[in-house]
Structure 1
């Protein structure tokens, strides 16, 4: 029996097609590290995408391409899988909660500082995170990432600024100084990373470096493949 996994992301309800294409491309990159596997993808925002992705699969692994394990992972995804007829799937740890992804976040920020000739000790790291006005899980995920980075990289300060709850990104990014890095704790370039984060940084008059979203870094496909294979 061919082993199978589905990478599931939230997507973009207002414009589902580009996000669907981006996650499909990610699945192709992940599959390159998993010969013999059937790697598929779907976003929850695209009508019918999950139903098409699970068609014909037996006991698929479900990899949530999310930063936290909030409502979408705990409630929406199991409900959608059940409605798609999946009773034998296994939902894995979300992308953002993997220890190796937390390590990637710290390494990416430290590498960015080094590229600019800054030591971590003189660099302020601002983590841009989603947050939630209703659930503690997104903030907890961001806090766990910040703690992991602090344990391995000696940044001058690590601040967390949220989009949907205080402390807000515009406040945390303000007065960060010239030697500052903003790391978006997001999986893709759609939605908040294209609008809210740049707007908050402009409001804060942030003069540091804005990195690509964590999930778009080139190391991500290999990490996802390792998480999928390592779950067996």
Structure 2
């Protein structure tokens, strides 16, 4: 490796380190701003469960430290989710200098839509999925049973759902990227639709709690988003001639 190449490589590492530090700093700043409202944030996230519980029933904490650490941990994850646009901005700032003009024109809408879809997946989970599955689970079971969910267990449950739906809603972005890269085409993906249907339910089985209801509520939106991705991918098909001319 020549001296100029080595210095360039070190410069890239320094820039990568600086952008990682900025991304982490953004999460920290948001966390500091929100930590005072940690209990309120947890109460908001727990509202669908609390509204589904029988009367005179509340959530419990089986660990002495849970009343402090559960809202603290949730606030940290909320800060991470809220910092996603700034984190992606840092990623874009790192990779953009190495992209061609047509690649920048293609990727900017994809980055913006990926943020919106991620937040849309979380919103869909909170406002649509959670009331349905929590209402179902709290209404079944023996009458002599007293349901008192643990706050830490509920936190793990809801974070898993948020992450699953946030990632699953990125399907249109993933389809557009692979079609734009030339790895496949919308027509080829249409031919594989039966396998996609099976794959959606298999993936939902691993990403959601082990019940058919939540798996179905994730698999069905995944299939709809797959169809949306096929439509949008027509505008992101690879264009080798254009790429060669702009190089």
Q: TM-score scaled to structure 2, two decimals?
A: 0.24
Larger relative CO (CA 8 A, sep 6+): 1 or 2?
A: 2
User: Which structure's residues are more often strand, by fraction?
Assistant: 1
Over alpha carbons, which structure has the higher Rg?
A: 2
User: Which structure's residues are more often helix, by fraction?
Assistant: 2
Q: TM-score scaled to structure 1, two decimals?
A: 0.25
